[in-house]
Structure 1
């Protein structure tokens, strides 16, 4: 298989590139910039351009068998600030991608959706794929819209989508700007001896997935014939306070955090039911939270 990884120089995409190469696939990366944490790989065909560059994207699709779509121009905490940009940068550009795929005879696409925002405040936990979609931020609304377009194109044009609703990924090569990724943000703050800030009282619960485990699920999804939606997460809930305690333990740090007023868009608890992905792909997570945080801390200190 020859795969085009859109966003392949980013946090998740770079790990999927590694996993694809390890599985013997040929890889082409389409991204607007180079990787931040390592040099280009000799076995990868890199195409650097913006996701909105139609001609460059069309050229990148030539000769590929499948597309892995990991680009997002927003994160949940910033999407509501400019919903119009969220729609233009993500929804419109993804629909354009689908049109270009049709023109180039490419049907298979693996799309990274959000298990943390599309369901909104859940009625049950763990959350199954059949749960009603009730997003409360623009990020989640746009993710749902893209999912709907993918399945519309499946019905009308034969596109073969698999949507992965992913929980909270973390691990090596994740950015540490503080807008996304509580594990990386906490560890970077500890490394820099900076005060850690927590929104609310730290009781918000999330499902954290180590990026190596996520990358394996992406490759398996692309290799399979399955079309549909799959939750991908650890299936285990941990509070932000749990993450802080583990981060303190693995880094041998004792600083006290600063608690701030909670945010309206923070869903109290999101834990995914991952039984379906286990049944469909034979995949299950291998790395627990403490082991994953430890690996991330070791990597961060190697920079």
Structure 2
């Protein structure tokens, strides 16, 4: 498994993480198979959130992981908080502290390697978040911190009040969600791809050594479905198959290789609970697409160059 530097540190993390959003749909033995498949492929990074499955995903993970022969220190475990389902976003100190205690209990852990704030809260008080982070770190409950779906100004605002460096920003990125790179190639144009919806965060991340974590790497739309083997995307699947045949892997691996080919050292979140899909996706970390192959996939996905 390809390894990358985490944020501004010298710590090494895998270029892929296992997202456990759908683990609530699995039994404990099935969850163990998925975790083991990821671990055996070099993916020793877990990404979770307190809202996944209403908390059941973390409960299943906790039960599964506690019975496995993998040492806690061999696994980097991250969770997210801040979304109160159907009600609000909440970055209050009280909510953050309480959520972490509940996460640790569900996952049967003494600490999290990383806590990520899950989507921006319009009522965020950066000083209050800073107090929560300091308390969590001092108590040994969280080692590192990050955010999810923050634009550059939001990221800078929060960072200005923290004593810790933010390590991560989770952002949607895939062959069918390319806004972060479209606008740069359509600079000085007036077409739709020229619109910068992410305030140039990818460039900011490269300049300030922030690890971008790409979520929904095989999805189109928000959560509308996968583009892999989808009849709605014939040109893209034809190109994926062509390269899959060349590199002797599955289409998931090629779609993953496309993300990891970007020089920003992006970490990709694999959300599948299917051991075969996990193993195939992991193979993408060993493939370095040529520049032409990367652009061929970009164009086959329905994008165009000015």
* The two structures share one fold, judged by TM-score above 0.5: no
* TM-score of the pair, normalised by structure 2: 0.34
TM-score normalised by L of structure 1: 0.34
